[in-house]
Structures are given as structure tokens and as C-alpha cells.
């Protein structure tokens, strides 16, 4: 009986730990990448995504899907942002869980416009708040409020665009082993045809749990425009540092409607 209880406790602890490791990986994104950009949706326009994204580590796969993201140009140079996800967690040797995850709210504001003829980049901020609406005990939520405070930069040169930056995650609380951490990333993409853009990013994140490990990874992705309103977004990647504990492989698949 004691051995069964110990095994059950270890399984629950492993599920909780995997949730704290994996949740941040899909909490922030500039679809279909983890690195974001400073460019908001145009004033009084919107974009809507239906997507799935997730990460696999040794002994666990978790993420969201289906999930929905809505961005609206609320003011000139500023957009409102919300993500409403269904989350999943599939620990090895344990039962899979699926249910509503943590809700994400944010506001992107561009305060420096890019100089098309010079070297001045576009610059903006995109603070995010993760509301703990998911069930932490099932591995579907962090169990406490989390806040991300980033600064993003972007510059275009013909068919090439590069952007990146990073910021600080306020991630402690709720009686968990979570701790605050930093995230930085950079991306380069190229417009290959009138309908296809391809790109790649590299990113680094410091440990988000007490006693956890830093992680470095990459993603390769593409955006295909069916027309001016309908778009397909895909990416896939893996970790380069401590991959078995942080990111053996990850993915994003989404459909975007713009207007």
C-alpha cells in the first residue's frame, strides 16, 4: 500500500512539474513562432486564429488545442489581445487530461515606427497577463497569475524581415515551485513568393522553476496566404540545451483570418 501511495505521489508530482516546464512554452507566441514582433493590428482591424501548439519532453507532452486568439486594433498603434485555450497534458504512464487552460490577455503598443529608408527599427511593448483559469492539479494551468513584460524590435530590408527582443516573466506564487525568469528570442524571415513567407528563430529562457534548467531552442516555420484574409501558419522545432527536460520537439499549427 505504501509503495502504491508513493508511486501515485510521484506521478502527481511529475505531472505538476511537467506542467510548470511546458506551460510557458505556449504562453507567449508571435504565431507561428515564440519570438514576437512590435507590429500591432491596424486600427479598427482584427485577426483571429484557431490553432494548436505544444511541446514534448521526456515523459510528457502538453500544450493547447484547439485554442483561439483574437487581436483587435483598438487605437492607432495599439491592439487588444486575448487567447482562450483548451489545454492538454499527456504524462507517460498516467492518464491524459484535457480541459480549459489559462486565459491570456494583453495589449501591444508600438511607440517607434520603422524608418523605411534608414536604419531605425520599429519598437513596441506587449505586456501579457496569464489568468489562472486552468486546473493546475490536472496539469492544465499554472495555478497563479503570471505576467510577461517584453520589448520587441523589428526591421525590414526588401523581402527580408528580422525581429526579436525579450523580457521578464513574473512567474512565482500559488504555493508552486515556479520562479521568475527571462525570455529572449530573435527571428529572420524571407518573403519567397507573393503567398509564402519562411523563417527561423532561436530563443533562450532561464529556468522557470526552482532547481530547474535553462533552455535554448529553435523553430523553423512558414506562413502561406491563400488570399488577403485567409492564412495557414506552421512551425516545428526542438531544444538545443537540456532538451530532454525542456523541449525534445515542439510544434505550432494554425489558421488565421484577417480583416
Closest CA to 109 of 80, 150, 151, 78: 78
Instruction: Return all residues near 189 (Cβ < 8 A) that are at least 6 apart.
Output: 160, 161, 162, 197, 198, 199, 200
Q: What is the value of pTM for the model shown? A: 0.88
Cα–Cα distance, 95 to 77 (Å, whole number): 45
CA atoms in the 13 A half-sphere facing the CB of 259: 4
E-state strands within the chain:
46-57, 60-75, 78-91, 97-100, 103-112, 122-125, 128-131, 146-157, 160-170, 181-191, 196-205, 215-225, 230-241, 249-258
Whether a cis peptide bond, with omega within 30° of 0, leads into 21 is no
Which ranges of the chain would DSSP assign to H, the alpha helix? 2-27, 243-246
**3-class SS of residue 198:** strand
Query: What is the DSSP pairing of strand 146-157 with strand 128-131?
Result: antiparallel
Q: How far is Cα of residue 154 from the mean position of the Cα atoms in its chain?
A: 18
Cα–Cα distance, 184 to 35 (Å, whole number): 8
pLDDT score, position 29: 55
Q: What is the pLDDT along the chain (259 residues), one digit of tens a residue?
A: 443 444 433 444 444 444 444 444 444 458 999 999 999 999 999 999 999 999 999 989 999 999 999 999 999 999 999 999 999 999 988 899 999 999 999 999 999 999 988 999 999 999 999 999 999 999 999 999 999 999 999 999 999 999 999 999 999 998 999 999 999 999 999 999 999 999 999 999 999 999 999 999 999 999 999 999 999 999 999 999 999 999 999 999 999 999 9
pLDDT score, position 12: 40
Contact 48, 70 (CB under 8 A): yes
> Quick count: other Cβ atoms within 10 Å of Cβ 193?
10
Contact 139, 11 (CB under 8 A): no
Amino acid at each position: 500500500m505504501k509503495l502504491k501511495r508513493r508511486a501515485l505521489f510521484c506521478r502527481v508530482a511529475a505531472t505538476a512539474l511537467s506542467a510548470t516546464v511546458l506551460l510557458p512554452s505556449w504562453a507567449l507566441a508571435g504565431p507561428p513562432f515564440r519570438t514576437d514582433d512590435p507590429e500591432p493590428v491596424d486600427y479598427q482591424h482584427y485577426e483571429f486564429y484557431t490553432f494548436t501548439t505544444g511541446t514534448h519532453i521526456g515523459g510528457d507532452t502538453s500544450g493547447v488545442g484547439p485554442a483561439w486568439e483574437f487581436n483587435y486594433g483598438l487605437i492607432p498603434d495599439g491592439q487588444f489581445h486575448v487567447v482562450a485555450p483548451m489545454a492538454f497534458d499527456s504524462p507517460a504512464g498516467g492518464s491524459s487530461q484535457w480541459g480549459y487552460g489559462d486565459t491570456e490577455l494583453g495589449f501591444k503598443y508600438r511607440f517607434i515606427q520603422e524608418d523605411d529608408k534608414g536604419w531605425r527599427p520599429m519598437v513596441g511593448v506587449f505586456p501579457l497577463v496569464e489568468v489562472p483559469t486552468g486546473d493546475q492539479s490536472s496539469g492544465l494551468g499554472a495555478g497563479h497569475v503570471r505576467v510577461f513584460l517584453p520589448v520587441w524590435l523589428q526591421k525590414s530590408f526588401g523581402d527580408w524581415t528580422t525581429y526579436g527582443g525579450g523580457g521578464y516573466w513574473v512567474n512565482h506564487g500559488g504555493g508552486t515551485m515556479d520562479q521568475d525568469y527571462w525570455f529572449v528570442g530573435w527571428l529572420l524571415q524571407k518573403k519567397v513568393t507573393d503567398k509564402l513567407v519562411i523563417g527561423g528563430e532561436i530563443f533562450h529562457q532561464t529556468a522557470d522553476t526552482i532547481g530547474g534548467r535553462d533552455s535554448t531552442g529553435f523553430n523553423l516555420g512558414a506562413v502561406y496566404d491563400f488570399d488577403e484574409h485567409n492564412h495557414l501558419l506552421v512551425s516545428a522545432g526542438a531544444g538545443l540545451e537540456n532538451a530532454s527536460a525542456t523541449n525534445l520537439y515542439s510544434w505550432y499549427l494554425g489558421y488565421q483570418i484577417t480583416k
